[in-house]
Amino acid sequence: MKKYRPIRFLLLACGLSPVLAGCFGGTSPPSRFYTLAPLETRSSQLPTGRSAIISLGPVFIPDYLDRRQIVTRSGQNELIIAEFDRWGGSLADEITRSLVANLSGRLASANISVFSWQSMPLSIMGTSYRVPVSISRFDGIPGDSVVLSARWGVFAKKETTDESLLVKEAAITEKVDGQSYDAMVAAMQRALDRLGKEMGDSITARDVMKSP
């Protein structure tokens, strides 16, 4: 009878633990991937005349967000990390692409071209500026709201240093229209759109691009 014990033990293990429910061909739920980049983007073209050039980035995010899984909250202090709902790329890159697309459309009429700092052309005409973004919070509660807290600035590129022209903070809350991750990501995109609008309005209103 001893020769049957391994099979009996395996059947018992698979029957007792949900973790081992896939012993005989079970599968995990499929992963779903999301992006923050707008479906329709307006790429900046190299300027043909005198123009200001913005290099947007780097974008800094806190450690708890620096992962492929989408992070939400169940309360003020508890974080929930989704196992099967993930970003299509790094979250910092997703944010960068979204802001570049947003600012490119908003600042085109002001003769300002916007590029990701990672893809900034090595040799361009015009005056260059750097716009780093530091995000301290970008998450929310499904069915409630998304919170985006960020600090950003405009720096004029000098020979050896950067001159600070503008530093601002943004605190944005956007309602989440549902419990799904689709609704969460849509609210996060709207929050980024509002951040891009605040950045674009501040840049053009103060005319910082005409500073030395």
Domains of the chain, start order: 50-210 (3.40.50.10610)
pLDDT at position 49 over 70: no
Whether the CB-CB separation of 60 and 135 falls below 8 Å is answered with: yes
User: Six-digit token pair at 82?
Assistant: 């989704």
Q: What is the pTM of this model?
A: 0.79
CA angle at 63 for the pair 198 and 102, rounded to the nearest 5°? 25
Range from 19-28, 51-60, 77-86, 197-206 that averages highest in pLDDT? 77-86
Q: Is 5 exposed, middle or buried (0-12, 13-18, 19+ CB in 10 A)?
A: exposed
Which pLDDT belongs to residue 69?
Answer: 97
62 DSSP 8-state letter: -
Which pLDDT belongs to residue 78?
Answer: 94
| Averaged pLDDT, 7-16 | 43
Q: What percent of the chain has pLDDT over 70?
A: 74
Does 144 or 25 have the greater pLDDT score?
Answer: 144
Which pLDDT belongs to residue 89?
Answer: 93
pLDDT at position 145 over 60: yes
Q: Cβ–Cβ contacts within 10 Å for residue 38, how many?
A: 16
Q: What percent of the chain has pLDDT over 90?
A: 55
Whether the CB-CB separation of 37 and 102 falls below 8 Å is answered with: no
Beta pairing partners, 109: none
Which amino acid type is present at position 28? S
Comparing 1-10, 118-127, 198-207, the range with the smallest average pLDDT is: 1-10
pLDDT at position 8 over 80: no
Whether the CB-CB separation of 120 and 132 falls below 8 Å is answered with: no
Distances in Å between the Cα of 149 and the Cα atoms of 90, 96, 142, 205 are: 19, 15, 18, 22
pLDDT band at 108 (very low <50, low <70, confident <90, very high): confident
Using alpha carbons, select from 137, 146, 135, 149 the residue that is nearest to residue 185: 146
Please enumerate in sequence order all residues whose Cβ is within 8 A of that of 109, keeping only pairs 6 or more positions apart, or say none. Answer: none
